[in-house]
Amino acid sequence: MKAAIVAVGSELLGSERLDTNSLRLTTLLDRHGVELRRKAVIGDSVEELAAEVRAQAERVELVLVTGGLGPTADDVTREAVARALGLELVFHPDVVEEIERRFASFGRRMPEVNRRQGYLLAGAERIANGRGTAPGQIVEVGGCTLFLFPGVPNELEGMILSHLEPWLAARSGGEARESVVLKIACVPESEVEERIGPAYEEFGRETITILAKPGEIRLVATAQGREGERRERLEAMRARLAELAGEAVFATGEEETLEGVVGELLRRAGATLTAAESCTGGLLSQRITAIPGSSDYFLGGAVTYSNDLKTRLVGVPPELLAAHGAVSEPVARAMASGVRDALGSDYGVSITGVAGPGGGSAEKPVGTVHIALAGPRAEGSDDVEHRKVRFPGDRERIRWQSAQLALEMLRRRLLKTAGAASEGSGS
Amino acid sequence: MKAAIVAVGSELLGSERLDTNSLRLTTLLDRHGVELRRKAVIGDSVEELAAEVRAQAERVELVLVTGGLGPTADDVTREAVARALGLELVFHPDVVEEIERRFASFGRRMPEVNRRQGYLLAGAERIANGRGTAPGQIVEVGGCTLFLFPGVPNELEGMILSHLEPWLAARSGGEARESVVLKIACVPESEVEERIGPAYEEFGRETITILAKPGEIRLVATAQGREGERRERLEAMRARLAELAGEAVFATGEEETLEGVVGELLRRAGATLTAAESCTGGLLSQRITAIPGSSDYFLGGAVTYSNDLKTRLVGVPPELLAAHGAVSEPVARAMASGVRDALGSDYGVSITGVAGPGGGSAEKPVGTVHIALAGPRAEGSDDVEHRKVRFPGDRERIRWQSAQLALEMLRRRLLKTAGAASEGSGS
């Protein structure tokens, strides 16, 4: 099946806004194996929209129109589609009564102008709108089915779930495409590709996509078919990729974040964390505390931007700063154990580096970052991990990747500790 | 003049990417008074693209095509446009030689496949590409001019500047539209609208737009005409709006940020700042340090997420916490003066609140935030400002608005101090 999407609204032709509804529709079409032939954005013009709808109705089997169903004069979708398909517009008093009731429920009277929303295309099925006034419509003409949706995203979403998705599912006879996502932090794309190589051969290269951004990679595995076999295949792919990529995988699912996963591990371990940040200036703490309930494990942190504060807040010896400079392994280590001890947490993490654009030198070029992680203080020894890296990119990207690596070091450490603990309890 | 934009590329029909080049083109069309009739996104299909180009060439005077000029088989723009307009494709050996030289300059041989890029539409003007291999093309057929551009944004940008902008300027006879932006933080939209009311009457309501997002408003004033009168009118609008909105305006210009403006004021005053953050968890410090060179005035901060750290790091008396709770005026005040004194800065700013979704109560519902700002310690008295607010929205939005208001309080305070200082020196 071939499809076309038409977004209606002059505001979508300006320089401030893009049509993003089509991304949601595309995901759905893709899932049901429908080929999207084109997308168009049309202003509030009856002629222009009618021409587009007429052209597409002759070329594809499914046309999805979003927007232009409101009550005002610049809402032209009803009229344009009627003209394009040579259909009458029929007034439905019951639709208007429903809109009147909706207004009444907010204690308001329906403005006269909303009567326009009572007109449906002759022969159209009405799609009830639980979230707004504009009803949607479904109409079939020749070999083409047209869906008219409101442009407001959450009203559109309601109608997608209630009507479009079931319609597509019925047409595709249960056949669909579906994906799982595995997320990996701080491993180079080439290394991920090498590790998962066997899965390409087992499942087909085209079924697995690697999407990379600085410090984070998403593996997207896609399966097609009827529900049972599709789910089974998806689970097999997920399991195999997880096996090949090993503990580099921090999440299975689009919604999970690295800071969320680290938080959950801390919570399970009953452990607390503090952070000492220099070049990231609070970004790491901000990400950790973006997770609701993070006060259960995150006590707080120190943004030690100046050398003086590195000494005052987390006890870095001035001699160490004088001897090695703020961006150095000894200072990073001292910051990590220092913040842990000064603020009284189980774990302490630190970041110090040159985020640029200024401040770089031949010895410590822009992008040089030292990260250290101090674990719970043990009798007689202190276990502080350290990594030195050089990140590419601008200030924002360097800071982001620094926070990302600090979180990933924490995650690996907490996993290891959890593993050791469960082995210990099993023996 | 009417125009249409066509973006070419199957990847733009997937669920991961949108055509964003059109926003750049739209800004330009708008500036030169060209009416954009429609945008379309077409996959790598000769038939589909040819049909779109043919239809638009008959309806508008300017068609801008982006993408599909690369060297591979799925780059179909040359062929599709030739078919749509009934033009031959002519091979230009000199174009290929130029591409060969480009490869040679990187020490590589040109792959055979790049020869495809040597074909231009009969009668087309070539647009040299200083940033990649694909040349652009300009061709006029009937009453319509078509520009073919590469889809790579920076290659497109080069050609916009070298060819499209001059072409539009020539057509519009120096007539153009231009805008200035004034930014305002932490003032409700309705209040801004009321204040600038007289400007609506003086310059025309349609020339001034208010764009609001949480905690920040952009006033966009637009003028049309020839350069001299346009600039003059724009300057008059800018000055009048600045006068009406007063010191609420923190920036004139799209690029300036509130954290950047505050930084510049601190730098000019030769003053230093520290921050104590609770519910924002480092967001304020992160924003301040996102500005390059912020170490000149920002010493650092304390993320005092737990009560214990509010005492340990910035000296909030435990009795105060016990009596009023962490989210209270006395604690916010103590945090602000405490961080200033403990870390040794001129100014200290603090944020403590309930960012949610949990942790709210009848007395202190989600969104309740206390912000305090301590100025340089004066003999015998301490001047600490305080504001209590209740922000709407989710956790992210509450945290963002909290940091925004803290910055705005700082900005107003620094302005006042700078004003007093210059008055003092003048007397």
pLDDT at B425: 60
Taking the alpha carbons at both ends of chain B, their separation in whole angstroms is 59
Q: Do B39 and A301 touch (CB under 8 A)?
A: no
Helix (H) or strand (E) holding B138: strand B136-141
Size of interface A-B (CB pairs under 8 A): 190
CA distances from B279 to A54, A281, B283, B403 (A): 55, 16, 9, 10
For the stretch A292-319, pLDDT in tens is: 999 999 999 999 999 999 999 999 999 9
Q: Which residue has the higher pLDDT, B253 or A199?
A: A199
Query: Can you tell me the mean pLDDT for A128-133?
Result: 88
Between CA B221 and CA B17 the distance in angstroms is 31
What pLDDT sits at residue B298?
97
User: Per-residue pLDDT tens for B75-111?
Assistant: 999 999 999 999 999 999 999 999 999 889 888 899 8
Residues A352 and A336: their CA atoms lie apart, in Å, by 10
CA angle A99, A103, A109 (to 5 degrees): 110
**Which residues from chain A sit within 8 angstroms of residue B343, using beta carbons?**
309, 312-313
Say whether the peptide bond before residue B357 is cis (omega within 30 degrees of 0). yes
How close B362 comes to chain A (CA, Å)? 19
**Confidence (pLDDT) at B119:** 96
Which residues of chain A does B289 touch, with a Cβ-Cβ cutoff of 8 Å? 280-282, 303, 305
CA distance B59 to chain A (A): 10
* Contact across the interface for A290 and B396, Cβ inside 8 Å: yes
User: Shortest CA distance to A80 belongs to which of A55, A97, A101, A100?
Assistant: A55
Average of pLDDT values for A286-290? Answer: 98
Contact B258, B185 (CB under 8 A): yes
Tokens standing for A121? 């295309």
Amino acid A118: pLDDT: 95
Residues of B in contact with A308 (CB under 8 A): 299, 344
CB burial of A40-61 (b: ≥16 within 10 Å; e: otherwise) equals bbbbbbbebbbbbbebbbeebb
Q: What are phi and psi of B16, to 5 degrees?
A: -100, -25
DSSP string over A9-67: -GGGGSSS----HHHHHHHHHHHTTPEEEEEEEE-S-HHHHHHHHHHHHTT-SEEEEES
d(CA B370, CA B248): 21
Per-residue pLDDT, A427: 45
Average pLDDT over residues A1-22: 92
Q: Do B309 and A300 touch (CB under 8 A)?
A: yes
pLDDT band at B326 (very low <50, low <70, confident <90, very high): very high
A210 pLDDT more than 80 = yes
Chain A hits for B26, Cβ within 8 Å: 13-15
pLDDT score at B424: 63
Can you tell me the ipTM of this complex? 0.82
Indicate the residue of A305, A312, A396 with minimum beta-carbon distance to B290.
A396
Nearest chain A alpha carbon to B49: A38
Q: Which residues of A touch B55 (CB under 8 A)?
A: 51, 55
- What mean pLDDT do residues A96-119 have? 91
For range A96-111, the mean pLDDT: 90
Q: Which positions in chain A touch B15 (Cβ < 8 Å)?
A: 23-24, 26-27, 30
Nearest CA in chain A to B340: A309
**Interchain proximity B300–A302, CB inside 8 Å:** yes
- Say whether B14 and A26 touch across the interface (CB within 8 A): yes
The reply to whether residue A294 touches residue B277, judged by beta carbons under 8 angstroms, is no
Give A23 to chain B, closest Cα distance, Å: 5
Rounded to an integer, the average pLDDT of B122-133 is 92
Give me chain B's average pLDDT, please.
93
CA–CA separation, A339 and A345 (whole Å): 8
Q: Do A305 and B293 touch (CB under 8 A)?
A: no
Tell me what the mean pLDDT of segment A153-178 comes to. Answer: 91
Please report the pLDDT score of residue B347 as a whole number. 97
Query: Residue A425: which pLDDT band, with cuts at 50, 70 and 90?
Result: low
Chain A: closest CA distance from residue B131 (Å): 20
Closest chain B C-alpha to A195 CA, distance in angstroms? 25
How much is the pLDDT for B136? 97
Which residues of chain B are within 8 Å of residue A300 when distances are taken between CB atoms?
Answer: 302-306, 309, 313
Enumerate the residues of chain A whose CB falls inside 8 A of the CB of residue B395.
290, 292
**Nearest CB neighbour to B281, from listed A37, A286, A343:** A286
Please tell me the distance in Å from A404's CA to the nearest CA on chain B: 15
Of the candidates B20, B52, B289, the beta carbon closest to that of A281 is on B289
